Every structure is written in C-alpha cells, then in structure tokens.
C-alpha cells in the first residue's frame, strides 16, 4: 500500500517541473493533516489503482469540506475510469438562466414592485379602504389602477422568464453521444458529467468545457467558432492531445490508464493550465503532456470542422460560459431620477393640500381622520400609471430606432434608457474599428536603408523573385553587384518573415477565392500583401506552412513552436524549420515599444516608427534569429519543463523565451499598415462638436498615430492647438504640465497611458478638473482598464451623461461603465456590440442616434410625464375647490368608474399619442446640431416647468369647478356630469395644443376617445342624466367652461411662439 501511495504521489508531482518537485513534496509532508491518523482511502479524483493519504488527497479534491466551511472550486484530477459516485459530486450540466421559479415568482415580483415608493403608496391607499372611517367610494377605484400596473408588469416579467425557460429547455435537452464500455449512448446535455467522453460533430454546440482528445483530422486539429462566447467572428484553431490522437481508434480511449489535471474553474476564457498523465506499463513515472487553452473546447463554442471527442472537465456553473454570464446592473436614465424626485415633490404637494384643507377648516372634529381621507382623495396627484406609460413609451422609441431605414441593422439592447441619447455631454470613442474601418492595407515597408511603398511594389516583387531563384538554384547567375545582391536577400528575408510569422489559415471553398481566417485584420492585410509581391499562403495546419512563389514553386516549412499574440506581451513569434535546407529560424513581430528593447542595437527604428505614425500608419517591427540544433534542443527542453508547471506557468514560459530566443534578434524591418477612416466620420465628429459634446478618443495606439488620426478625422478642428503630455514620471513635471494646460482652454490634449495613469494615481482631481473643460482629449496607449477608469472618473467628477463607443473586446469595460454604451459590429467580432446598450454598424449612425432619436425620446418622455402629472393635479384641484366650497367635507366628487375611466379610457390614448410628436423636423434637428445643447440642460422636466404645470392645473381646475357651479346653480344635481365633461374636453384640447407635428394616430386617438366618452354616458346612468345632457343648455355651457379653461392657455402659447424666436429660426 505504501508503494502504491508513493507511485500516486509521484504522479501528482510530475505535473510540476523537476526543479520544483522536491520542494512541493516537502510542502505536502509538512502540512498538518485534517485527519490525524495516517489512514488511507481511495483517491476519489484519481484512478482506482492510486491511493493517497486523506490529507494529501485534499490538495486535488474540488469538493472537500474543510472544517465545516463551504467548499470553493479547486483544481481537480479526473481519471478516465472515474466512478459514478465521483462524477456525481461535480455540478450538474444544467443551463439555467431563469430569473424566477414557480415558487419565487410572486414573492419576488411583488417585492420588486412594492420596493418602488409610488406602488407602495397606492397599495397602502387601497388597503386603507378596508378601514371604515377611511372608506371613500368603491374599492375598485383604488385597486383597479394598482392591479392594472401589476398585471402589465408581472405579465412582462412572466413572458420574459418563460422565453428564458424555453431556451434553457432547448439547450438542456439537446442530444449528444458519449463513449462508454457498453458502446455509444445518446444522452441529453443536462446529463453529461465530468469524466464523460463526448462526441461533438460539425456545427454542433459544445455542451460543456472539454479537453480535446481526438479529431477526424489526421493532424489532430480542428476549428471552432467562439462568437457566442467572446463575440469574435474568426475561427480558432484547437489541437487534440497528441497521445490520444495517435491511438488506433476511438474505443482505445477506454483502455487508457490516464487522468487529467485541470486547474480550478475560473472566468478567463483565454487561460487554462492542465496536464494529461498516462501511466505506462512497467514504468513508475507516467508520460505527461502539458495542456493549455489550445487543447480545450469551451461550452457554447461551435465546432466548425470535422468531428471531435472531448473529455468533460467542467460542467454547469463551473464552465467558462456560465461563469462569464453576468447580469450587469440595470442602467437607470436621468429622466427616471428626475421622475423620482418629482414624485417626492408630488407627495409633498398631496400632503400640503390635505393639510391646507384641514387648517382652513380650523382643525374641527376628527381632523386627523379627515386628513387621511383627504390624502386618499388627493392620491391621484401621484400618478401610478406614470412609470407604466413611460416604459411603454420607451418600447415605442426602441421600435422606431430599430426600424429606422437610415440606420439599418441598429439594435436596442437596453430599452430602458433611450432618453439618455438626448442628454449626452461627454463622448468617449475608441479609434481602431470605430473611427477607422479596421480595413487594413500594408502601405509601407522600411528596412533601414530602403523604404518601399505601394508605388514600388513591382520592384519589390522583382527583387523577391530574384532572391527566391538564387536560393533555389545556387549555381545560377550571380547578381549584378554586391549591394544589389544584399538588398535582394534582405527583401527575401523580411517578406518570408511576414509570410510565416502569423496565425492566418487559408480556407478554400469550391469555386471561390481562398479566404483567410485570423484573429486580427492586420495579419490578413500582411498575408494579402505578401501574396501580391510573390509569396502566397496555400496551406497551414498545426504542423506545416506551405508558400507558393510566382513560379509555382512550393516552399515547405515545419512549424515547431508558436507563441500567440497577447495584449500583455504585444508580440507574437514562431519557430519553423525550412524543409529544403533544414535551417531552424525564430521569427517575431510586435509593437515597437516592446520590440525596440529586444532587437539588436540600431539607429533608425525609433525614428522610422515615428515617421510612419505621423502618416497615420500602424507599425509592426519584424525580427528573426537563426537557431542551431543545439540551441533549439536546449530551448525545447527548458520550455517543456516550464509548460508542465501548474503554478506560474505563463511566467516561467515567458522567462525561457526571453532568456533564449529573444536575445540578439536581427532587426529585419518595419511595416506600416493603413487603417482607413470610417465613411462620414469627419462630418459626424464636426456635427457632434457643434452639438456641444466634449469628445475624448481613447486608443491603444502610439501618440503619433493617434494624433494623425485625430487631425485627419477632424476630431481636432482647423487651427486648434495640440498640447502633448508624455512620459510623466515625477510630480514636479506633472504639476508644471497641469499649470501650462490650465491656460489653454480651447486646445486638444494628447496624453499617453503612462502619464494618464500617473495623474490618476497622484493628481486625479486636479487633472480631471482641467481635462473635462477641454473640447478634445486624445489618450494613447490606453489599456482596457484605463478606458473604464477614465469613463468612471468623468462620470463621478462632472455628474454629466457620458457615452462610450467602441467595436472590440477591449472596449467592453468602458461601454458597460458608461451611462450609454454604443457598440459597433466590427471585423474583430461582436463582443462590444453584444455588451452595449445600442448596437450600430457604422460610426456615422451615432449622429442620427443622438441628434434625432435622442431628441425625440427625451422630448416625448418629458411631455408625456408633464401631461400625466397635469392629469392628476387638475382633477385633485377640482376636488379641492369642491370640498372648499362645501364646508371642507372630505367627500369624493368623482367615484367608481368615472375615476377609473379618467386615467384610462377617457385620456390615456390621446396623452400616450404624444410619443409620436416631433418638436422639430428631422432636417432641422440634424442641420442645426446646436439645438442639442438645449437638451443637455434638462429644462423639459425642470422644477420651473413643473411649477408652470402646477399653476396651469390650479387655474384650469379652479376655473372648471367654479364656472360649473356658477353656470349650473339651478342644476346642481348634475354638477358631476357637468364638471367631468368639461374636464375631459379640456384634457383633449390641451393635448391638441401641445402637439407640434400631427400624426394620423394622434387624430384617431382624439376622435375615438371622445366617441368612447359620449357613448359611455348612455351606459352610466348613475352619473349622467341623458335627458339633461341632450339639451342645448348643457352643450353651450359646457363649451363655455371648456373655453374659459383652455383658451387663455392657447393665447399664451401663441405669444410665446411669436415672441420667443427659436434658435434655428434666428
């Protein structure tokens, strides 16, 4: 037993490099065991033949409970022969995105609804009707509107959750084949378990996180689509475990005495550390293969080629897809905050009006009971239907945006904040793919002493052909001169480097030109350029690259190692062996800021990179190093040890690469790639600046490139000065630069990421106070975290509305942090688009989105809120006047169906039709962007506007009630029908007076509503005496009351229209 334990321990230790193995064993032995006696038990996460002490088994167990604490996900070792008991201890592979269950639906929905003050207030008012002294009218009067709001809200929540349930059911019930000792079995996705061997076919969704064991491709490679996981549209190459790929058949997997080590579940979809360990017969030490993310298929990716067999390592909530499924906090628009504040004021108005009625009556009798009765009578001042109407309005705005043919394919993903589009004051934009097309073309190649542009491509092609022919036939005719010979060989070296150092894969479809799959448009641009000059990429898999010359010769290279590009390293490399010469070469390309520290000394790199950047070109530095067999073998040995490490694997790998490969690299040249500006970007930026927006460009490019794009895109206006801050590293210089900047209020600030971070860390308030006053800021070399930090900094300091726009995964953080996030569907994928509140396909669409749809959404919601508030105020004022004239009696004038119909059948349609109104025409809104500045001031729902509507309500309510009593003193019994009819007509007229642009649905709503009211009189004899209503006296006197209440408002409106000339009319 002790010997078996030793074997198992060595198996685990083999996962670490040799240099760390001894220390790790010591660490294990020194740890205090959780169970003191040295009893042994079967390791539940290893094969049945391997036994470990309980306290050592704890190191690899995911579900071990330490001293009663809730277990956290840990690394795991999974045997190919794990028992059902072991498999069942991991989370079930069930996808569940539902927000509610049958049990929790009503409690949670009720909590969410009555968490809102207005709904809670009306619930208390409705419940008060069960108290006899407080009962006023019919209970339906109070429960009706509340139930109406709840039914609509609950119906929407139930429908949305039902759709989520159906999607979950579809995913969980999808069938997959698993390989067992009893043959192939079909099981639903929800029944897959850790340790299962699952078949995945072409175009099939990966059901769990798996390690790729075998593919139908002999090379063991396959492609996957990851757009549903990370938003990127390019295909990703994945590689099977070599040991498994070499097996004679799929069932051979069942006879393997093997296990897989997988690190603890985490959210990083680009990182994975694991090992595949196979016990060899007769050997104590197992055969170990290092596993990384290239050996995995994550859940919700799609297999794009062939058939694959995967070993399930994570299920359910442990999968990358589920761990990255976050529900971002709901964004609340500024208008919603303003409505909340007005609701508090309305509650205060309700209380003060009720208190005033009691005070004017001298606090007689049971005044406190009367106070509560008046609070109930005047409860319509607080409009319970306001939020429902606004939400319905937002749905209309979202529909109009998505169906606007002038901005096709625009998607509204967050329908709760369309009004925010009309309140933006700070506009933060990415550069690449946002202001530019991400449509790359290699424009320049510089090699130190020679530079080639588009115009010299024929000469370059000729030199390459000459060099390739010389390499093919060493006995051929020598070049004309030494300098010429040197230049042709240098051309060959750099073009060959560009043709080999990339991750591009050619995809050939029948009858079509070859397409290139790559993670970056830069790489595709470079490969297409090498094709133009005479080296075409015709084949690539995990083992080889084939290039075709213009003479149709095939150059074959064996891929020995690849080092993918990462945002941290800012470079990529590849080690290849030329099959013709057996020569091993390491090629590397990357950003100049990194490569300049790696390549051998030169006196031209920095200068030429700066020159290209000033032309607006994106630069890449190309270098190489020839490796001898000894150096290569030494490297592979040390790199292989680093790859087996389960802790700090990336750091150890990078250290080996830096110490061996990235020493004395020969600089070959620099490429300059042009990224063309988006269509209409100049006009869009000029219009946005005219609209009063302060524009910031946040980019990862260098200062020179960003400055050039800022000027060419008209982000910097003509004659505007540019103030540059870079490489700030001490406080004295930082303060000096701020002092200089403070006196330049109309300049463009260009700042690099290092300086920006220094200011954020040491002079945050001082820097942002000056920066937010500037019309344009360009921040260069920004990381995704810095972009989000700048966004939050502006929001917190200014309290103004901030909009962020971008197209890539590095823009997601700032898009989600902003008040409004706009994502552009880019060539690199849809990650930004999926994370954004609004998705567009072109940058120029943002102009229409803000200046037209933003304007309409804000103005319409503001006017809708004004009228709904007015509707509640005016009927309460009528009630107050009625009570004041009749001894301050807390008796409701309108009860039952009248009060219910007032806010629904009799006024709702005309008032809601205001969501179709346009205060100015489309041409004026887009032609006079200065009008947008008025929106940002938020005057449509200011306290001044609120008190104007309060005075209007007081006047009209008082006029209707007093005139009704004066004109109808002989028919006092009909006071309800008289005043209520005048009230309804007044509201219909007021809606008509406020409409700027008539829509046929507006006219229809007015006519239909009036007809409904007239017809309903015949069915409500309790409130309407038809014999009285059909008389001429009733008609002309109601008309007179309505005229007195509405005509003065019309006159005031005419005076304002002609006296106060609008901005665009001046």
The pLDDT score that the predictor gives to residue 231 is 64
Mean pLDDT of 24-45: 32
Sorting pLDDT into bands at 50, 70 and 90, what band is 328?
low
- Average pLDDT on 688-696 reads 94
Torsion of CA 897, 901, 902, 904, to 10 degrees: 150
245 Cβ neighbours under 8 A, 6+ residues apart: 213, 214, 215, 220
The answer, yes or no, to whether residue 1000 has pLDDT greater than 80, is yes
| Res. 858: pLDDT tops 80 | yes
Flag whether pLDDT at 396 surpasses 80. yes
pLDDT of residue 1033: 84
| Residue 225 · residue 235 · CB < 8 Å | yes
Around 646, how many Cα atoms within 13 Å sit in the side-chain half-sphere?
23
Taking the C-alpha atoms of 509, 515, 519 and 522 in order, what is their torsion angle to the nearest 10 degrees? 180
Give the pLDDT score at 862: 94
Q: How far is CA 484 from CA 120, 466, 473, 488, 566, in A?
A: 87, 10, 18, 6, 38
Q: Name the residue among 1030, 683, 1027, 1043 with its Cα closest to residue 847.
A: 683
pLDDT at 475: 41
Q: Rounded to 5 degrees, what angle do the CA atoms 1016, 1020, 1022 make? A: 155
Spell out the alpha helix ranges (H) of 66-214. Answer: 84-88, 105-114, 117-127, 140-172
The tokens describing 635, both together, are: 């490297």
Residue 810 is assigned to a ligand binding site: yes
What is the full DSSP assignment across 658-709?
Answer: IIIITSSBEEEEEEEEEEEEPTTHHHHHHHHHHTT-EEEEE-SS-HHHHHHH
Tell whether the model's pLDDT for residue 599 goes beyond 50.
yes
**CA 198 to chain CA centroid, nearest Å:** 32
Residue 828 pLDDT level (bands cut at 50, 70, 90): low
Higher per-residue confidence, 643 vs 355: 355
For 405-463, how does the pLDDT look when each residue is reduced to its tens digit (9 = 90+)? 999 999 998 888 999 999 999 999 998 888 888 778 899 999 888 888 888 888 888 88
Confidence of residue 66 (pLDDT cuts 50, 70, 90): very low
* Tens digits of residue pLDDT in 99-121: 888 888 889 888 888 877 788 88
Instruction: Check if 430 is active-site.
Output: yes
pLDDT in tens, 131-158: 888 888 778 778 877 888 888 888 888 8
Give 833's contacts (C-beta < 8 A, 6+ positions apart).
231, 411, 807, 823, 824, 825, 826, 839
Q: Is the pLDDT of residue 28 over 90?
A: no
Looking at every residue in the chain, the average pLDDT score rounds to: 84
| Residue 779 three-state SS | strand
Residue 523 CA, distance from chain mean position: 26
Which of 512-516, 950-954, 981-985 is the least confident region?
512-516
| Residue 700, marked binder | yes
For residues 864-881, give the mean pLDDT.
94
430 is in an annotated binding site: yes
pLDDT digits (tens, 9 = 90+) for 892-928: 888 888 888 898 899 999 999 999 999 999 999 999 9
End-to-end alpha-carbon separation of the chain, Å?
96
699: annotated binding-site residue? yes
The number of residues in the chain equals 1066
The model's pLDDT over 763-778, given as tens digits with 9 standing for 90+, comes to: 999 999 999 999 999 9
Query: Residue 215: helix, strand or coil by DSSP?
Result: strand
In degrees and rounded to multiples of 5, residue 968 shows phi and psi of: -125, 40
807 is in an annotated binding site: yes
pLDDT confidence of residue 30: 35
Radius of gyration of the chain from its Cα atoms, rounded to whole angstroms:
37
Mapped onto helix, strand or coil, the DSSP state of residue 403 is coil
**Predicted confidence band of residue 972 (pLDDT cuts 50, 70, 90):** low
CB atoms within 10 A of CB 464: 22
Average pLDDT over residues 37-47: 33
What pLDDT is stored for residue 272 in this prediction?
92
| CA–CA separation, 804 and 814 (whole Å) | 7
Give pairs for 216-223: CB < 8 Å, separation 24+.
Answer: 216/306, 216/307, 216/308, 217/305, 217/306, 217/541, 219/541, 219/542, 219/543, 220/245, 220/542, 221/541, 221/542, 222/303, 222/304, 222/305, 222/306, 222/308, 223/303, 223/304, 223/305, 223/505, 223/517
What is the CB neighbour count within 10 angstroms for residue 812? Answer: 24
Name the band, by pLDDT with cuts 50, 70 and 90, for residue 1061.
low
Q: Where are the alpha helices (DSSP H) in 442-533?
A: 457-472, 482-500, 521-533
Kindly state the tokens that stand for 819: 């008040």
- Please, which pLDDT band fits residue 68 given cuts at 50, 70 and 90? very low
pLDDT of amino acid 159:
86
Please report the pLDDT score of residue 785 as a whole number: 84
The answer to whether 50 and 7 are in contact (CB under 8 A) is: yes
**Percent helix, strand, coil in the chain (nearest 5)?**
50, 20, 30
Smallest CA-to-CA distance from 286 within 239, 253, 243 is with 243
Q: Say what the pLDDT of residue 119 is.
A: 82
Kindly compute the dihedral angle of the four CA atoms of residues 844, 850, 856, 858, in this order, to the nearest 10 degrees.
Answer: 170
- Could you write out the three-class secondary structure of 843-909? CCHHHHHHHHHHHHHHHHHHHHHHHHHHHHHHHHHHHHHHHHHCCCCCCCCCCCHHHHHHCCCCCHH
The reply to whether 431 sits in an annotated binding site is yes
pLDDT at 49 > cutoff 50: no
pLDDT given at position 481: 40
Measured from the Cβ of residue 233, the count of other Cβ atoms closer than 10 Å reads 17
Residues 6+ apart with CB under 8 A from 6: none
Q: At residue 792, does pLDDT exceed 90?
A: yes
Give the residue-averaged pLDDT of 948-961. Answer: 94
Nearest-CA neighbor of 141 among 152, 153, 125, 157?
125
Question: Is pLDDT larger for residue 497 or for residue 1057?
Answer: 497
Residue 680: is its pLDDT beyond 50?
yes
pLDDT in tens, 268-309: 888 899 999 998 877 778 888 899 999 999 998 999 888 999
Q: Is 1019 helix (H, G, I), strand (E, B) or coil?
A: coil
User: Is 937 one of the annotated binding-site residues?
Assistant: no
- pLDDT value at 1012 more than 60: yes
Q: What are phi and psi of 386, to 5 degrees?
A: -60, -50
The whole-number average pLDDT for the span 362-390 is 88
Given pLDDT bands bounded at 50, 70 and 90, which one contains residue 45?
Answer: very low
pLDDT of residue 7: 34
* Per-residue pLDDT, 35: 29
714: left (phi over 0), alpha (psi -120 to 50) or beta: left
669: left (phi over 0), alpha (psi -120 to 50) or beta: left
Q: 609-636, pLDDT tens digit by residue?
A: 888 888 878 889 999 999 999 999 999 9
Mean pLDDT check: name the lowest of 16-25, 231-240, 273-282, 718-727: 16-25
Residue 476 CB neighbour total at 10 angstroms: 11
Any idea what the Cα angle at residue 913 is, between residues 911 and 919, rounded to 5°? 100
Least confident of 106-110, 391-395, 527-531, 1057-1061: 1057-1061
DSSP 1064: G
Is residue 22 a known part of a binding site? no
**DSSP string for 425-442:** EEEEE-STTTTEEEEEEE
Torsion over CA: 641, 503, 227, 184 (sign): negative
Is 618 annotated in a binding site? The answer is: yes
Asked whether the predicted pLDDT for residue 802 surpasses 90, the reply is yes
The SS3 assignment for 258 reads strand
| pLDDT at position 62 over 60 | no
pLDDT beyond 70 at 58: no
Q: Is the pLDDT of residue 642 over 90?
A: no
d(CA 814, CA 820): 10
Categorize the per-residue pLDDT at 510 as very low, low, confident or very high, splitting at 50, 70 and 90.
low
Q: Which of 430, 592, 752, 917 is flagged as catalytic?
A: 430
Structure confidence at residue 969 (pLDDT)? 64
CB atoms within 10 A of CB 169: 12
Q: Is 811 annotated as a binding residue?
A: yes
pLDDT at 177: 94
Task: Answer yes or no: are the C-beta atoms of 518 and 234 closer than 8 Å.
Answer: yes
523 labelled ligand-binding: yes
Is 728 in contact with 760 (CB distance < 8 Å)?
Answer: no
Candidates 881, 872, 782; CA nearest to 356 is: 881
Residue 15 has pLDDT above 60, yes or no: no
Q: Is the pLDDT of residue 313 over 80?
A: yes
Percent of the chain with pLDDT over 70: 89
Residue 848 has which token pair?
A: 């229409």
């Amino acid at each position: 037993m002790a010997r078996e334990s030793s074997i198992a321990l060595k198996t685990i230790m083999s996962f670490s490099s040799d240099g760390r193995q001894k220390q790790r064993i010591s660490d294990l032995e020194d740890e205090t065991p959780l169970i003191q006696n040295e009893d042994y038990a079967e390791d539940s996460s290893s094969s049945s033949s391997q036994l470990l002490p309980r306290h050592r088994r704890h190191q690899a167990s995911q579900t071990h409970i330490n001293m009663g604490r809730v277990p956290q996900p840990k690394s795991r070792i999974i045997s190919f022969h794990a028992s059902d008991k072991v498999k069942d201890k991991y989370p079930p592979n069930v996808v569940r995105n539902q927000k509610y269950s049958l049990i929790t639906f009503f409690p949670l929905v009720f909590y969410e609804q009555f968490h809102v003050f207005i709904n809670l207030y009306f619930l208390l008012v409705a419940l008060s009707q069960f108290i006899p002294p407080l009962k006023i009218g019919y209970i339906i009067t109070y429960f009706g509107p509340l139930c109406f709001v709840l039914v609509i809200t609950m119906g929407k929540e139930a429908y949305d959750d039902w759709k989520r349930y159906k999607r979950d059911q579809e995913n969980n019930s999808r069938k997959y084949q698993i390989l067992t000792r009893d043959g192939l079995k079909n099981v639903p996705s929800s029944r897959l378990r850790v340790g299962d061997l699952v078949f995945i076919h072409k175009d099939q969704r990966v059901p769990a996180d798996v390690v790729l064991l075998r593919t139908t491709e002999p090379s063991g490679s396959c492609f996957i689509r990851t757009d549903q996981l990370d938003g990127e549209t390019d295909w990703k190459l994945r590689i099977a475990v070599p040991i498994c790929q070499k097996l004679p058949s799929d069932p051979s997997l069942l006879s393997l005495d093997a296990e897989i080590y997988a690190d603890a579940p985490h959210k990083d979809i680009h990182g994975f550390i694991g090992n595949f360990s196979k016990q060899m017969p007769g050997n104590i030490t197992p055969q170990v293969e290092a596993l990384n993310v290239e050996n995995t298929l994550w859940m919700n990716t799609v297999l794009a080629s062939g058939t694959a067999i995967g070993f399930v390592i994570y299920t359910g909530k442990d999968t990358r897809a589920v761990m990255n499924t976050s529900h971002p906090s709901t964004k609340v628009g500024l208008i919603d905050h303003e409505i909340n504040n007005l609701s508090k004021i309305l509650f205060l108005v309700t209380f003060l009006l009720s208190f005033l009625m009691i005070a004017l009556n001298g606090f007689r009798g049971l005044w406190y009971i009367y106070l509560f009765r008046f609070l109930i009578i005047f409860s319509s001042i607080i409009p319970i239907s306001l939020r429902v109407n606004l939400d319905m309005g937002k749905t209309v705005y979202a529909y109009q945006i998505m169906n606007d043919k002038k901005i096709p394919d625009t998607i509204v993903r967050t329908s709760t904040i369309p009004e925010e589009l009309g309140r933006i004051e700070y506009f933060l934009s990415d550069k690449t793919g946002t202001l530019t097309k991400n449509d790359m073309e290699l424009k320049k190649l510089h090699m130190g002493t020679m530079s080639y542009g588009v115009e010299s491509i024929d000469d370059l092609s000729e030199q390459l052909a000459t060099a390739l022919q010389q390499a093919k036939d060493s006995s051929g005719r020598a070049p004309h001169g030494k300098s010429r010979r040197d230049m042709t060989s240098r051309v060959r070296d750099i073009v060959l480097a560009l043709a080999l150092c990339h991750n591009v894969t050619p995809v050939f479809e029948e009858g079509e030109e070859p397409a290139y799959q790559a993670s970056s448009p830069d790489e595709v641009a470079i490969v297409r350029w090498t094709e133009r000059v005479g080296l075409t990429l015709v084949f690539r898999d995990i083992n080889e690259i084939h290039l075709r010359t213009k003479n149709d010769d095939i150059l074959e290279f064996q891929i020995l190692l690849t080092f993918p590009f990462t945002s941290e390293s800012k470079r990529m490399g590849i080690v290849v062996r030329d099959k013709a010469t057996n020569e091993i070469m390491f090629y590397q390309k990357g950003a100049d800021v990194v490569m300049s520290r790696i390549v051998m000394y030169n006196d031209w790199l920095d200068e030429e990179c700066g020159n290209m950047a000033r032309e607006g070109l994106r630069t890449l530095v190309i270098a190489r190093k020839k490796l001898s067999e000894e150096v290569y073998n030494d490297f592979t040995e040390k790199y292989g040890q680093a790859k087996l490490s389960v802790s700090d694997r990336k750091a150890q790998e990078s250290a080996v690469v830096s110490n061996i490969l990235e020493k004395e690299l020969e600089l070959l040249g620099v490429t300059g790639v042009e990224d063309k500006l988006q269509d209409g970007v100049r006009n869009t930026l000029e219009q946005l600046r005219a609209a009063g927006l302060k524009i910031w460009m946040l980019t990862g490019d260098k200062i020179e490139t960003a400055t050039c794009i800022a000027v060419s895109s008209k982000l910097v206006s003509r004659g505007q000065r540019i103030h540059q801050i870079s490489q700030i590293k001490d406080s004295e210089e930082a303060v000096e630069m701020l002092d200089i900047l403070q006196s330049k209020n109309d300049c463009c600030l260009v700042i690099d990421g290092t300086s920006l971070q220094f200011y954020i860390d040491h002079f945050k308030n001082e820097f942002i106070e000056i920066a937010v006053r500037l019309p344009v800021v360009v921040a260069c070399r920004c990381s995704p975290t810095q972009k989000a930090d700048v966004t939050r900094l502006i929001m917190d300091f200014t309290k103004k509305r901030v909009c962020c726009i971008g197209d890539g995964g590095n823009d997601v953080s700032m898009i989600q942090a902003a008040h409004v996030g706009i994502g552009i569907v880019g060539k690199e994928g849809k990650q930004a688009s999926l994370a954004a509140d609004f998705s567009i396909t072109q940058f120029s669409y943002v102009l229409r989105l803000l200046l037209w749809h933003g304007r309409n959404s804000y103005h319409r919601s503001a006017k809708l809120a004004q009228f709904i508030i007015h509707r509640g105020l005016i009927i309460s004022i009528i009630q107050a006047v009625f009570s004041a004239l009749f001894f301050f009696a807390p008796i409701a004038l309108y009860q039952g169906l009248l009060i219910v119909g007032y806010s629904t059948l009799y006024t709702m349609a005309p008032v809601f039709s205001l969501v179709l109104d346009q205060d100015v025409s489309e041409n004026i809104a887009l032609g006079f962007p200065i009008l947008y500045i008025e929106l940002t001031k938020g005057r449509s729902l200011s306290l001044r506007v609120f008190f104007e509507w309060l005075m209007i309500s007081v006047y009209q309510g008082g006029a209707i009630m007093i005139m009704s009593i004066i004109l109808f003193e002989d028919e006092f019994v009909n006071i309800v029908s008289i005043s209520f009819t005048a009230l309804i007509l007044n509201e219909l007229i007021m809606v008509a007076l406020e409409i700027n642009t008539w829509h046929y649905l507006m006219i229809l709503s007015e006519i239909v509503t009036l007809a409904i009211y007239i017809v309903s009189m015949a069915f409500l004899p309790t409130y309407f005496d038809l014999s009285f209503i059909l008389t001429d006296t009733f008609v002309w006197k109601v008309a007179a009351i309505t005229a007195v209440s509405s005509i003065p408002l019309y006159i005031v409106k005419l005076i304002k229209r002609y006296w106060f000339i609008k901005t665009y009319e001046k």
